[in-house]
Amino acid sequence: MATKKRHGAIALLEFETVAAGVLASDVMVKRSPIALLRCGTIHPGRFLILVGGSVASTEEAYAAGLQVGECEAALSGSVFLGDVHPYLHDAVLGIRRDVEGDSLAVIETHSSPALLAAVDAAVKSTPVVLSEVRLGDDLGGHALALLSGDLFDVEVALDICSELAGEKLLARSLLPRLDSDLRSVLDQGTSFGHCAAMEPSGAEYPEEVACSWDA
C-alpha cells in the first residue's frame, strides 16, 4: 500500500517544549508552500513537526524552524531529507509493509530525527523492506523501526542504522529466523493495545479443574 502522492523531501524537527513547537509550526507553514504532514506532542512533553514538499520549499521551511529552535533554545533534534526514500516517506505517515524474507532487525533510538536519518541511509544502501516506523507515541519519546529481508541485507542495514544513530542509539536486535506466528502478529503492528492474540495449534493449556464456586 502506498500514498497517492509522495513528497520529494521531508523534514522532521523535535522540540523540548510544546510552546516552541507550535510557534515553529506556524513560522514554517507561513515561510514556504509546504505540507504540514503531522505535528503534535509526544512523551515526555516534547513536540514533533513533520513537513514535506519540494526540495526547495521544504529546505526553506526547515531553516525557518531551526531558527525558531535556536532562538527559543528548545530544539532537541532535526533532520532534512532532500531525497527521501519512498519506503520511509510512506512509513512516517503510518503506512505499513508486511515483513518479508527470513530475518528481521529492530532499531530503537532516543531521538525521532536520528532514527529517520539512519533508516533512510539503510534502505537506500540495502534491499531491505521498511515494515514499520513509530515516532514518539506510546514509546516514551523514543523511535522505532522494523527492517526485514534476507539475513545478510538485514545485518548490513542494522549496522548502518547503529553507526549513524551513534549516541542516540537505544537498542537493536536481529532475528535471523523470525517465527512465522510472530511474523503474523508484527504484520499488524508493534503496539500492545492493537495486538491480536496468537494461539498456535500446538499451544498447551492446563487441564480443566473444577472450582469450588462452580459446585
Q: What is the pLDDT of residue 111?
A: 94
Amino acid at 205: Y
CATH class of 9-81: alpha beta
Calpha distance 133→29 (Å, rounded): 25
Same fold, 9-81 and 86-186: yes
Q: The CATH number of 86-186 is which of 3.20.20.70, 3.30.70.1710, 3.40.50.720, 3.30.420.40? A: 3.30.70.1710
CA angle at 93 for the pair 91 and 94, rounded to the nearest 5°: 65
Q: Where are the beta strands (DSSP E) in the chain?
A: 9-15, 35-42, 46-53, 75-81, 103-109, 129-135, 143-149, 169-175
Calpha distance 61→33 (Å, rounded): 8
Blockwise average pLDDT, block size 10, the chain, 215 residues: 70 96 96 94 93 96 95 93 93 91 96 96 96 89 95 97 96 95 89 69 58 51
**How many angstroms separate the Cα of 126 from the Cα of each of 45, 86, 114, 155?**
35, 14, 19, 10
Q: Where are the domains of the chain?
A: 9-81, 86-186
Q: What is the pLDDT of residue 137?
A: 77
